[in-house]
Amino acid sequence: MLPRLPKLALVFTSSALLLACPGPEPEPEWETSLNLDADVGALLSIWGSSPSEVYAVGGNPDAGVIYRFDGAEWAPESLPPETPLLNWIDGQSGDVWVVGNEGVALRQTTDGWERLDTGLDVPLWGVWGAKQDDLWAVGGDAGATGDPPPTPVIAHFDGAAWSEVPMPALDRPSRALFKVWGTSSDHVFAIGQGGIILYYDGAAWAQVPSGTTKDLISLWGTGPDEIVAVGGRSNGVIARWDGAEWTTSVIGESPGLNGIWLSPAGEAWVCGVLGVTGVVSAGDDTFAPETVTGFTLHASFGFDDGPNFAVGGTLDRSPPWQGVVMSRGVTP
């Protein structure tokens, strides 16, 4: 029989066990990482190669900005003269590209950012590339009018120059494509106004059924059989590609969604109107929106082990806009 321990010893033993077996660490909270004044502008996209090399782009309609995060502080980058509002950034091709209004395309070099002529004068909303000599940019003037109405634009970069690519036939009116993303040179999707989804198979672009007429704003994936797009204006919309078809659902408890980044585990980090963000689990289109700022959030990005970012600003108001970077899990 074990000896009977005094009460004080029992209390000490229990406390020691509790200290030795701590519970799970609390999830990090969202914090404001950067605030931009109205004379600087809002932020529309964010991407990075590592937690200590992250870029956020945006600005106001008459002037674009790029901010770089080194893991501790944000600092503005020098840009070519008369750079307009910048809408998107991507570096998955091996080069870092930024596109924006007036058909602008910037490429990062060892000497800074250089501007390359695209031959276009409409806003470019998205850019993505499989490799350095095989990139796509998409855009269009979503608010333009005319008879006939303007159509979206697609441009391709072959390593030497940008050139416009003819649009395929569409089954509904659409004036803009908002984002492009893929997993290889012959597996690329572009999404846009009116729920348009286009697919490039390495030879030609063609429209594919989307299951929605709601605007689709952004997309990301983990592989050729798992790509997720988000959008909607009044309510959030999520569309999933499973390798065979797109299926779409409306998230009634969420306002419109603008940004998405997928972790390797398939968790979709989304953000949108009214400063909402949240995680949509793999294969599950329900989530509890969390309001982390009073600003509209436009883009999400993150790393496997953190941190996570969301950027936006007063985009629901007339410019000049104020901008914000929200972060979660940044190590001081």
Which tens digit of pLDDT belongs to each residue from 193-232? 999 999 999 999 999 999 999 999 999 999 999 999 999 9
Average pLDDT along the chain = 91
**Residue 22: per-residue pLDDT:** 60
Domains of the chain: 31-328 (2.130.10.10)
- Pick the range with the lowest mean pLDDT from 14-18, 57-61, 283-287: 14-18
Cβ-count burial 4-27 (b if 16+ within 10 Å, e if not): eeeeeeeeeeeeeeeeeeeeeeee
pLDDT recorded at residue 6: 42
The predicted structure's pLDDT at residue 281: 80
Q: What is the DSSP letter of 318?
A: P
* Structure confidence at residue 252 (pLDDT): 75
Cβ proximity of 283 and 3 under 8 Å: no
Interval 174-192 mean pLDDT: 98
Q: What is the pLDDT of residues 34-43, one digit of tens each?
A: 999 999 999 9
- pLDDT at 307 exceeding the cut of 60: yes
Looking at per-residue pLDDT, the higher value among 47 and 26 belongs to 47
Smallest Cα–Cα separation from 182: which of 237, 209, 222?
222
H or E segment to which residue 135 belongs? strand 134-139
